Amino acid sequence: MSYVIRKVGVIGSGTMGGGIATLLAGVGIPVVLLDIAAKETHAGDPPAKRNAIAIENIEKLKKSRIPAIFHPADLERISIGNLEDDLGRLAECDWVIEVVVEKLPIKQALMEKLEAVCKPTAIISTNTSGLSINAIAEGRSEAFKRRFLGTHFFNPPRHLKLLEIIPGAHTEPALVQFMADFATKILGKGVVICKDTPNFIANRFISVAGGFGMNYAYDHGYTVEEIDLLTGPLIGRPKSGTFRLADVVGIDVLAYVAQNLYPAIPNDPQREVLRHPGITQVTEFLMRNNFLGDKTGQGFYKKVEQNGQREFWALNLRTLEYEPPQKVRFESVEKHRKIADTGARIKALIAETDRAGVYLWHLHAFYLSYAAAMLGEIADDIASIDNANKWGFNHELGAFEIWDAIGVRESVARMKADGYSLPAWIEEMLANGYERFYQRDASGAVTGIYNPQRKAYEAVLPDKNIVMLHQLRAAGKIVEENSSAALYDMGDKVCLVEFRTKANALDNDIFALIQRALERLDRGEFEGMVIGNQGEYFSAGANLFIMAMAAQNKQFAEIEQMIIGGQQLMQAMRYFPKPIVTAPFGVTVGGGAEITMTGARVVAHAELYIGLVEVGVGLIPAWCGTKEMVKRIITPAMQIPNADPLPPLQKAFEQLALAKTSSSAMEAREMGFLRSVDRIVMDRSRLLAEAKRTVLELVEGGYVPAPPHKLYAAGRDAKAALHMAIYQMHQGKYASDHDAKLARHLAHILCGGDLSAPTWVDEQLFLDLEREAILSLLGEQKTLDRIQHMLLTGKPLRN
């Protein structure tokens, strides 16, 4: 059977169900979202009353602190209903996924209804986080079971990469492959195929291995704050650590999972971890008092107002009292925290004998030994266990990757000495001369993964859809580099510029390397270029420290040359005769946004937070950013006869004056940072490969850059209208004196200066106005105060 997904039905509109619906709508798929009918309503009542539960849940998603919706227009693709009146609408759907309460009888009863109403070709799946897939399908026909499987998303579905796919005993293999391909290519997910065992892979680990970490902390007198320091970015995990993560997930949720998992794994030798008397006492105390974490305002932490300051007090695991925050410091952590490579950092830390080193050794000894014991039971291969933990919980390294990094043979001997049991296949692997789980080539790319059943490495073919810069570096593909940037040969006559500064801030060395890359392109060494990197940020903008120091030293001639040089480089990139593709992701602000817009094409990750935010540091966009807003927002609107310039002018002005940033690449397109020809990629790991592919497509198509064209300058009258709005904001105390001054500079540039009437002008006029404004502002003490505050605190100053 061939499969296609054109419309999806989602049953259950809560945080997870609604999140899955908005993810699907965000990639352009229509969704029918059903929930139970509201209480005390009856058939025939208005839909707004009957569907109140689903409507309310969608409203909550709109206001979610972590954005669940890529763009408000996505909601137009979600059709809401209820299970009593609208079940028949699921007959239109190619895939129906249930996301209802985790109770087996309820899911089984729902499956009976779905079999009756869904078309015979429809894919049916459950989002259960741990119930048996085969049990949920019990009583259904063989035909139903062949098209039924588990599709376990992780919350929030938009942001967490993992999708666990769990085939049932009768699921068609072709369906499993189709869903894996669909989730990877369309949704940008990292797919792991799981066995139908309790809690599958990721939740099994977070319950048992995570529980061990809490238990060890309790037994050995560690504080909540100490553990969260030790189990966060220090070892390649998120800042939430252990106890803070529990607050985010919900104490009640973790307790419920442990309670259900314990009887389901009678043969797991580590299941008593789930019933540790000390931690059980703590969680019972928290639940008894409704201290469930973030959802109730306190859990292992609570917010306390102290002397006008907000503090986070942590629970003492023994006294069950909240205590003021304490500065946590370990000698070994201070000694090793700056080791760049996470695996090497973990290896150094677990070798230490202070309290930090001891805790981290036992945490990893349990984690790695448990991973080894579970192989074969919950997954057939090492990579599935590693990927589930990395993609499900944003861990940098999986268990077996860590084991390779710390040394398998040495750590096995130490584990055995400390009483950690290991399965026989580990000893056998070492005895046969296999010292690592992953076989890698000289560049660090994985070429083989150890298979305990075959007692040998299984070859891994390279994924042409993924480019890793550290592998290009190890393979000697760096053409040129300096302290701030590197130029790589990506192959096929495509080069790539990588930023390497703190937060990838733009400086003269980056610009110098880009200029030399353009010269290489001009000489024919390459046919196209990608601007991209694989850091935490694409770019946080210009290097403010350099600019502030020059301003304080009154080096305005040097600043002017820096601005002119940046403008000239941006313009050269924009109109270069060979294609340049920019590949932004995540935080892309200020100069990062400006360099993004130089691309002949932009290939952006869906999670793109782009904006021209210079007003936050007392400046205006002066590397063509303000000019680009005129070009992208105002000018197209004014090409329509008799168009009113104020709406597009106001849009551009508000974006700049309010330092607006997009919450997604889809929103960035509406804001003018992306154009209709630019592409959005759901999976960041594929971003650079897609950017390179776009370069090659442009080369193949005979790329010719669009020539510069005249831009619309609205003139004095339009500027007066903006000034009136600025005056009203200032009078209403919504804008400070300096905010108003910045806004007037922006209005002056956007309107083309003091032109007596609207006219069409060259781009250079706007560049000159940008330069004049920023030089003026860098002479203002309040601007320098804003820059200094940002450099010291990372937060904008309102002065």
Residue 234 confidence class, pLDDT cut points 50, 70, 90 = very high
Same domain, 237 and 166: no
- Residue 165 counted as domain residue: yes
pLDDT tens for 726-761 read: 999 999 999 999 999 999 999 999 999 999 999 999
- Residue 28 counted as domain residue: yes
pLDDT tens for 368-419 read: 999 999 999 999 999 999 999 999 999 999 999 999 999 999 999 999 999 9
State the Cα–Cα distance between residues 370 and 368, nearest whole angstrom. 5
Q: What's the confidence (pLDDT) of residue 447?
A: 96
Same domain, 371 and 498: no
DSSP secondary structure of 167-204? E-TT--HHHHHHHHHHHHHTS--EEEE--SSTTTTHHH
Q: What's the confidence (pLDDT) of residue 307?
A: 81
- Residue 761 counted as domain residue: yes
Same domain, 642 and 756: yes
- Residue 104 counted as domain residue: yes
Q: What's the confidence (pLDDT) of residue 715?
A: 97
Residue for token digits 């790329």? Answer: 703
The reported pTM is 0.94
216: helix, strand or coil: helix
Residue 452 confidence class, pLDDT cut points 50, 70, 90 = very high
Q: What's the confidence (pLDDT) of residue 362?
A: 99
Q: What's the confidence (pLDDT) of residue 1?
A: 75
- Residue 362 counted as domain residue: yes
Same domain, 127 and 211: no
Same domain, 672 and 690: yes
Element (H, E) at 581: strand 580-582
pLDDT > 90? residue 544: yes
Residue 52: give its domain's CATH number: 3.40.50.720
Q: What's the confidence (pLDDT) of residue 119?
A: 97
Cβ-Cβ contacts under 8 Å for 535 (sequence gap 6 or more): 499, 500, 504
Q: Please give the average per-residue pLDDT across 131-149, as a whole number.
A: 98
Same domain, 628 and 697: yes
Domain final position from 126, 158, 193 = 193
Same domain, 489 and 377: no
Number of folded domains that form the chain: 3
* pLDDT mean across residues, the chain: 97
Q: Please give the average per-residue pLDDT across 6-13, as a whole number.
A: 98
CA angle in degrees (0–180, nearest 5) for 387-390-393: 130
State the Cα–Cα distance between residues 281 and 190, nearest whole angstrom. 37
- Residue 784 counted as domain residue: no
Per-residue exposure over 240-274, b if at least 16 CB sit within 10 Å of its own CB, e if not: bbbbbbbbebbbbbbbebbebbbeebeebebbebb
Cβ-Cβ contacts under 8 Å for 312 (sequence gap 6 or more): 301, 302, 303, 304, 325
pLDDT > 70 fraction of the chain, expressed in percent and rounded = 100
Angle between helices 251-264 and 277-288 (to 10 degrees): 140
Q: Please give the average per-residue pLDDT across 770-794, as a whole number.
A: 96
- Residue 438 counted as domain residue: no
pLDDT tens for 479-507 read: 999 999 999 999 999 999 999 999 999 99
Q: Residue 709: give the domain boundaries.
A: 470-777
Same domain, 586 and 714: yes
Domain final position from 136, 160, 193 = 193
Residue 390: both structure tokens together: 């990395």
Same domain, 181 and 232: no
Same domain, 145 and 217: no
Domain final position from 149, 167, 193 = 193
Cβ-Cβ contacts under 8 Å for 612 (sequence gap 6 or more): 589, 590, 593, 594, 621, 625, 626, 629, 655, 656, 659
- Residue 790 counted as domain residue: no
Q: Please, what's the largest Cα pairwise distance for the chain?
A: 86
Same domain, 161 and 228: no
Residue 658: give its domain's CATH number: 3.90.226.10
State the Cα–Cα distance between residues 291 and 719, nearest whole angstrom. 54
Same domain, 235 and 375: yes
Residue 281: give its domain's CATH number: 1.10.1040.50
